Chains A and B, each alone.
Chain A
Amino acid sequence: MKYAIEAEGLNINYGKLSILWDLSFQIPKGMLVGLIGPNGAGKSTLLKAIVQLIKPFSGRICYSGHIAYVPQKETVDWDFPITVEEVVLMGRYSRLGLFGRPRRADRDAAKAALEEVGLLACAGRQISELSGGQQQRLFIARALVQNADLILLDEPFSGVDLASEKVIMGLLKKQKETGKTIVIVHHDLPSVEEYFDWVLLLNHRLLGCGPTKEVFTRDHLMKAFGKTQTLFHEALDLTAKNMSGLL
């Protein structure tokens, strides 16, 4: 496959409400991609559709190579009885087979990933002892040991201070240099031009997909965040209510 991710006529519904509306786009390999859009625009849904956690209503979406997914860190219980090292080892569990236990090579890979994100000293700690930024780096370490060609991150900078954000961004840029494609759900507009080579602008519909300079323009942003959108969403919402008999 030529592209890292390719979507064609993708539609996704939650019940009667349509979340993503006829998306067609291609993302080339080796890019650092920002997935930008207002709250509730379907950014996380798109990521979940790419990793096949959600089935599309119609259309198709596919990727090339191996994939690693970094969920929002709020989705897990940080009080869970598990150590930092065990979380990273999880990235290798798909290779274990049904009855397997992690082997020496897996442990070495986990240690290397922890070293890479600067958490090796915390390997034996329970995960709730980590700070917000460290928790995010832990998730990234878990994605690194998966040795994927494509890494998808859902809001990696939420609840993370600016210093940690820079550290994490540095880590991801380094991964990009090795030829990987990185997709980041992001909603802090001022930093977009600095961070990303490629931008996918989303508000239920696709409003732009291309190099940052071409897509991240005033014109496109007005479309994504401006008032002209509200009428469209009102209509969608009304459709859903009519269809489910709530109106």
Chain B
Amino acid sequence: MIDFFTDPVLRAPTWGCMLLCFASSLVGVMIFLKKRSLLAETLSHAAYPGACLGVVLFSFLFPQGEHGAYWAVLGGAFISSLFALLLVHWLESTRVSSDAALCFVLALFFGVGIVVASGMQSSIPVWYQEVRMLLFGQAATMSDLHIWIYGGLALFLLSFLFLHFCPLQALLFDRDFSKSARIRVEWVEKAVFWFLVLSLVLGIRSVGVVLMSGMLVAPAVCARAFSDRLQTVFIIAGSVGAASGFLGNVFSFYAHIPTGPTIVLVGTAFALGGLLFAPRRGVCFRLFRVFQFRLRCMEENVLKAVWKKGTVSERPTIALRLALWQLKRGGWMDRDLQLTDDGRKKAALIIRLHRLWELYLTEELGFHAEKVHHTAEEMEHILTPDMEEKLTRLLENPKLDPHLQPIPEKEL
């Protein structure tokens, strides 16, 4: 594994991709939180025609030159992304809606890029390879020069974040307020856009214009799922970015598949993992908590039924068996499915909540007595002790519910 960092052939793609993905995921957090993810998509596609034209120009000026082509690609890509950014801003300031403006600019620029590239295929085929690889990137041919470029970008971004964290946070959260409070956000805002264009343009070499925006946004999505603090979101996103860069390289090396798409797939897998398995926001844990809630409702309904009728009369389903098992384990019921002392108190409490809620709906909110049972069936599982106390006080410790059934006394 260590070979990936030291081997003269492997080290440039490994370090290059890791540093680039690290840097672009930091930019991605800013863009994601500003809700401008689609802008990244548009600008990376818009880099393509500029890169193509840069190479065309270079091929005319230096027909024999080989090494300068990379700079021509960068320069051209940078200029056309910047043009696209200005065009998007201008369109958004007129009556055109934001998503229409983004779509229009993306299609226009990328279309021009494809036309130029296919023109090159027939007229200057030698150079066509250079622009074709920009579509999906070609990490394997990176040199040590790229390590320095991407390292520089990462360092630059880190120091920007470290020095200007406060104004950046204010800008991302509430731009109008920041401006009104004279927080110096104008140039921080400009810097964010420069970093976006810069990391997109530098990134297309390894990941390609088509997939670059995924590399920006995926780590941010993953990080946001795990944390509610901006600092932590940046740290997690940076780590996820660097990890995808590394793992993408390793997988593509062993499986002989292209590096750029592999990196993006790994990043996306991280994002998906975050959305599914994050402790608080992840889908899995939320489903689990829903399941727990439903089970608790069922347990409480069983307690209620036994309190009223003395036995469990329903045919036991799997869920009911689980609920009964839980009740016995928790000491609410004994072996013969009779309520223990604790169980009886708890059942009385649930019925108390049910009837208090019914009374509240009819007395205070003017519901009809026939219509309150249904919502009370739900609320009895939800009302907190604090709300129970408020209800008791509001209704002046009532004895009878709207159906003239007794409300059980509060037991301690």
Contacts and interface: CB of A to CB of B under 8 A. Distances in A.
Contacts of B169: 82, 86, 90
B313 interface: no
A68 B182 CA distance: 10
B173 interface: yes
A80 B33 contact: yes
Contact of A80 (B167, B172, B177, B180): B172
Interface string B172-197: 11101111111110000000000000
Interface in A125-151: 126, 142, 146
B176 to A, nearest CB: 5
B184 A98 contact: yes
A156 interface: no
B174 A98 contact: no
A66 to B, nearest CB: 9
A101 B166 contact: yes
Given A68-B181, A81-B33, A81-B230, 9 more contacts: A71-B174, A71-B176, A75-B174, A82-B228, A82-B229, A86-B169, A90-B169, A98-B167, A99-B164
Contact of B163 (A51, A91, A99): A99
19 contacts: A48-B176, A51-B179, A51-B180, A52-B179, A69-B180, A71-B177, A76-B174, A80-B173, A81-B230, A83-B228, A83-B229, A90-B174, A93-B178, A94-B182, A98-B163, A98-B167, A101-B165, A101-B166, A146-B181
Contacts of B177: 69-71, 90, 142
Interface string B140-170: 0000000000000000000000011111011
Contacts of A219: none
Contact of A93 (B166, B172, B229): B166
Interface string B216-238: 00000000100111101100000
Contacts of A80: 33, 172-173
**Interface size classification for chain B:** 20 to 34
B35 interface: yes
Contact of B35 (A15, A48, A51, A77): A77
B275 to A, nearest CB: 14
Nearest to B93: A15
A102 B166 contact: yes
B179 A53 contact: yes
A83 B231 CA distance: 11
Contacts of B178: 90, 93
Contacts of B232: 81
A194 B164 CA distance: 45
Contacts of A142: 177
A207 interface: no
Nearest to A69: B180
A192 interface: no
A96 interface: yes
Nearest to B34: A77
Contact of B173 (A52, A53, A87, A146): A87
B176 A75 contact: yes
Q: How many of chain A's residues touch chain B, expressed as a range?
A: 20 to 34
A52 B94 CA distance: 21
A126 B174 CA distance: 16
Given A69-B176, A81-B233, A93 B227 contact: no
A101 B168 CA distance: 12
Contacts of A102: 166
Contacts of B181: 68-69, 90-91, 93-94, 146
Contacts of B165: 101
Nearest to A93: B183
Contacts of B172: 80
A7 interface: no
A67 interface: yes
A76 B94 CA distance: 23
B318 to A, nearest CB: 36
Nearest to B188: A98
Contacts of A65: none
Contact of B167 (A52, A77, A86, A93): A93
B180 A67 contact: yes
Contacts of B94: 15
B176 A81 contact: no
Given A81-B233, A98-B164, A90 B170 contact: yes
A90 B183 CA distance: 9
A83 B182 CA distance: 22
A100 interface: yes
B166 A100 contact: yes
**Smallest CB-CB A-B distances: 8 pairs:** A69-B180, A51-B180, A126-B228, A94-B182, A93-B183, A76-B174, A99-B163, A94-B183
B180 A53 contact: yes
A52 to B, nearest CB: 8
Contact of A81 (B167, B183, B228): B228
Contacts of B233: 81
Interface string A79-122: 01111001100110110101111100000000000000000000
Nearest to B174: A76
A129 B164 CA distance: 27
Interface string B303-326: 000000000000000000000000
Interface string A23-60: 00000000000000000000000001001110000000
Nearest to A87: B173
